[in-house]
Amino acid sequence: MNLPNLEEARKRTLKKSLIVKNNYDFKKIVKDQKYFLKTYGCQMNEHDSEEIRKYLEILGYSKTTILEEADIVVLNTCAIRENAHDKVFGYLGRCKHLKKEKPDLIIALGGCMSQEESVTQEILNKHPYIDIVFGTHNINDLPKLIIDSKNKRQIEVLSIEGNVYEDILYSRDSNITAWVNIMYGCDKFCTYCIVPYTRGKQRSRNLSKIVEEVKDLKKEGYKEVTLLGQNVNAYGVDLNDGTNFKMLLENVAKTGIERIRFVTSHPWDFTSEVIDVIAKYDNIMPYIHLPLQSGSDRILRLMGRRYTKEEYLRLFKEIKEKIKGVSITTDIIVGFPNETIEDFNNTLDIVNTCKFDGAFTFIYSPREGTPASKIKDNISKVEKEKRLYELNDLVNKYSLENNKKLEQKQVKVLILGISEKDNNKMYGYTETMKLVNVKLNKELIGHIIDVKITCAKSFSLDGEII
């Protein structure tokens, strides 16, 4: 087999990122063949997979959820923590085994892991059964790579960000709620985080193109959009023409789409003007995911988060005061290098103050190439786990407490579908992003209905349709 070298595989693009129209100049190449697509990680990856799926479908592949049935397997990977990495290499083992039985099987690896030079190197050296590697900046090369992979292994990753594409077509997961990407990359460079390296510098999409996309989704019958970015509050800053997130939110609200959400917010860029816009428009949902990461000023400084505990609390308070009934969730990392018990107790303190509606909690894991990975990872695994459990207990206590306040109350729920756990129930979300289960009535899927909450648990609510 003809193997490219690392330099060939990792193309650098030194040109300034341009905003260009996506190219769909390719046709059906297969008949009666199936794709299996597996997505790891965040909502951004889920949304990228909707683009990948569109390309696979245009080429003629149809979906299977059974790995063994696939003619092409695409893994859209995540690099944020070490366990994400391990999971992907574990799964590749299964794919390798399948390829022994089905030599024509195409195996493709995309997403954040592909952007890591060490991963490309490892694939070149140790995983010859992987036919295609593509990165986060050249997803739209996938059709060409699939076509060319018939003759030669295709490993092509842009090591510096490429163009910003507009008019991308997606094969969306849902016909009720839709992700809308508003920006690529991140300029915050939190010291533990690999995202600025795997997704590149911040590039915002054009405001009117985003608004057009939302208007089209509304016309197609979508009820909810979630504006996506690594740091949505910094939207527009790179455009240097005064465009900002407040303007975008206001314009999206004016489209009249029923529900608008956005993730993720960085406290440093969160302005009072944005809070005012959320409070002003009924169709901007009263739910904010506001990552804290740590409650210790010393650790926040080491993390390069650019705010103190007091500043976070001031913002939290302003949001709570101005947005009626708002729910706030967060992300917290435990066991950052040199985190003392006192630092950790400061995190518990702020959780006790904020009483978050929910929190995603993580054990710190060093990511190669990040500044924090150069500091000795000196907290033992046992200690990190102990802190995680203690934090989770506290977080769950407040989730339950907050949810209990909803018992016997009436809430508006957008019904999304039939519950996977119980086929006699449907699930949906409140305006404040709480998961609700109600009795089956398929006609209500895609509708916003009034529900009385009958029983609250830590992670979901049971309700009766009114």
DSSP 284: B
At which residue do the structure tokens 């916003």 appear?
448
Chosen from ligand SF4, ligand 5AD, none, partner binding at 244 (C-beta under 5 to 8 Å by type): none
Q: Is 356 in the site for ligand 5AD (CB under 6 A)?
A: no
Q: Which of 440, 435, 446, 432 is nearest to 465 (CA)?
A: 440
Instruction: Single out the segment in contact with ligand 5AD by CB under 6 A; choices: 50-58, 104-112, 357-365, 390-398.
Output: 357-365
Applying CB under 6 A, does 181 fall inside the site for ligand SF4? no
Q: Does 196 bind ligand SF4 (CB under 6 A)?
A: yes
Nearest to 375 by CA among 339, 338, 428, 403: 338
227: burial class by Cβ within 10 Å (0-12, 13-18, 19+)? buried
Q: Does 186 bind ligand SF4 (CB under 6 A)?
A: yes
Contact 63, 53 (CB under 8 A): yes
From candidates 61, 364, 427, 429, binder to ligand 5AD by CB under 6 A: 364
Dihedral sign for Cα atoms in the order 206, 211, 216, 218: positive
Q: For residue 259, give the amino acid letter.
A: R
Cα maximum dimension of the chain: 66
Q: Per rule CB under 6 A, is residue 389 in the interface with ligand SF4?
A: no
Task: Write the binding mask 258 to 287 for ligand SF4: x where contact by CB under 6 A, - elsewhere.
Answer: --------x---------------------
DSSP E strand stretches across 246-391:
259-263, 287-289, 327-334, 358-363
Token digits for 408?
Answer: 């016997």
**From ligand 5AD, ligand SF4, none, which one binds at residue 10 (CB under 5 to 8 Å depending on kind)?**
none
Check residue 331 for interaction with ligand 5AD (CB under 6 A).
Answer: yes
Q: Which of 291, 295, 358, 446 binds ligand 5AD (CB under 6 A)?
A: 291
Q: Could you tell me which stretch among 90-98, 182-190, 238-246, 419-427 binds ligand SF4 (CB under 6 A)?
A: 182-190
Q: How far is the CB of 87 from ligand 5AD (least distance, A)?
A: 15
Minimum distance from residue 421 beta carbon to ligand SF4 (Å): 31
- Residues contacting residue 112 through CB under 8 Å, at least 6 positions apart: 41, 45, 77, 78, 79, 80, 136, 194, 195, 198, 199
Which candidate, 339, 335, 337, places its Cα nearest to that of 387?
335
Q: Does 234 bind ligand 5AD (CB under 6 A)?
A: no
Binding of ligand SF4 by 370 (CB under 6 A): no
Is the CB of 293 or the CB of 402 nearer to ligand SF4?
Answer: 293
Q: Does residue 137 contact residue 161 with C-beta atoms inside 8 Å?
A: yes
CB of residue 465 vs ligand SF4: minimum separation in angstroms? 38
359 binding ligand SF4? (CB under 6 A): no
Distance in angstroms (rounded) separating the CA atoms of residues 453 and 189: 42
CA 62 to chain CA centroid, nearest Å:
25
Among the residue ranges 188-196, 380-388, 418-426, 450-458, the one whose residues contact ligand SF4 (CB under 6 A)? 188-196
Strand ranges inside 160-304, DSSP E: 164-166, 177-181, 183-184, 203-204, 224-228, 259-263, 287-289
Q: Is the CB of 329 or the CB of 365 nearer to ligand 5AD?
A: 365
Q: Which of 440, 441, 435 is nearest to 455 (CA)?
A: 435
Taking CB under 6 A as the rule, does residue 288 contact ligand 5AD? Answer: no
- The answer to the question of residue 193 lying near ligand 5AD (CB under 6 A) is yes
Interface with ligand 5AD includes 115 (CB under 6 A)? no
Contact set for ligand SF4, span 288-327 (CB under 6 A): none
Report what 389 binds from ligand SF4, ligand 5AD, none; CB cut-off 5-8 Å by kind. Answer: none
The one-letter amino acid code at 197 reads Y
Q: Name which of 186 and 207 has its Cβ closer to ligand SF4.
A: 186
Q: How far is the CB of 442 from ligand 5AD (least distance, A)?
A: 35
Task: For residue 189, state whether it binds ligand SF4 (rule: CB under 6 A).
Answer: yes
Q: Does 330 bind ligand SF4 (CB under 6 A)?
A: no
> What single-letter DSSP state applies at residue 69?
G
User: Are the C-beta atoms of 140 and 22 separated by less than 8 Å?
Assistant: yes
User: Which of the stretches 180-188, 206-214, 294-302, 359-367 binds ligand 5AD when contact is defined by CB under 6 A?
Assistant: 359-367
With CB under 6 A as the contact rule, the residue among 193, 274, 334, 351 that binds ligand SF4 is 193
Interface contacts to ligand SF4, rule CB under 6 A: 186, 188-190, 193, 195-196, 230-231, 266
Interface contacts to ligand 5AD, rule CB under 6 A: 80-81, 192-193, 291, 293, 331, 333, 362, 364-365, 367
